Amino acid sequence: MNAPPIYIVSGGEGISGEQIVRTALAQFESDDIPVIIVPRVRELAQVEAAVQEAGRTHGTIVHTLVDAGLRQALIQRARQENVPALDLMGGLLSHLTHLLGREPLGQPGLYRQIRETYFERIEAIEFTVSHDDGRKPHELDQAEIVLIGVSRVGKTPLSIYLSVQGWKTANVPIVPGVDPPAELFQIDPRRVIGLTIDPDQLVAHRRWRQRRLRAGGGGDYVEPEALKEQVEGALRLFREHGFAILDITDKPIEESAAEVIALITRYFKP
């Protein structure tokens, strides 16, 4: 017959508690003890129900509650009902309180939230890198932000910075004589932000790039009048399609990113 069950009582999903219990059970090569997760315990009534159920089945409670009030209530109630209750969190929290000199937040699920945020950022970075410089235009509808602008306006570094903040960002270049991809005009225009810059600063950026690459010649790539026309042409395109316009002249990337995020969240509140 199966042994009495072990109840994992948690303010979150009970994943950490279950892992510890199953790791311990593996040392006994035992799979005949039911492990029952009691997740998202946030109320005293849930504590009471868990203790009663454990008492009825002669089970054991293993708890990872970070809420001090709920944890103490469970310990007291389990003692009253003669239910074995093992506290996996209380002792560690007490030690860390002494070690760090401050009280714990007592918010369940924080570790899971932190992990989710981390993986969301990794996903955003991977998306942004693979959608740089107009690549995969058929997937523009998956982007949270689409930056467009002429060459050397700063699309790529701004895209990468935004992705580190967790935003899936694509960027599309505006090239003289080449039509932008049709998909650009099929997505929600509120997600598209046109980057513009003072033509003189754009000339400086492009000349710096030429020197860095040791490229000869010049032509329209660095010719001031040609660049002025490219910037003006891009502005006409932005206005024609109702795209937001962001002037990044003399702005640090942090300021430009903050303005982009403000524009996007104005329409799409997270």
Angle between helix axes 155-164 and 253-267 (nearest 10 degrees) is 70
The answer for residues whose C-beta is within 8 angstroms of residue 188's C-beta and 6 or more apart is none
CATH of domain 114-267: 3.40.50
Assessment of whether the complete model's pTM goes beyond 0.85: no
Residues 6+ apart with CB under 8 A from 253: 154, 157, 158, 161
**Run of H or E including 251:** none
Return the pLDDT at 113: 63
User: Average pLDDT per run of 10 along the chain, which is 270 residues long?
Assistant: 85 86 82 88 93 93 88 92 88 73 68 67 92 95 96 93 94 93 96 94 81 63 85 95 95 94 85
Say if 6-108 and 114-267 have the same CATH topology: yes
Checking phi first, is residue 106 left (phi over 0); if not, alpha (psi -120 to 50) or beta? left
- For 6-108, CATH number? 3.40.50.2300
Q: Domain spans of the chain? A: 6-108, 114-267
| Closest C-alpha among 121, 119, 72 to residue 93 | 72
Confidence at residue 242, expressed as pLDDT on a 0 to 100 scale: 95
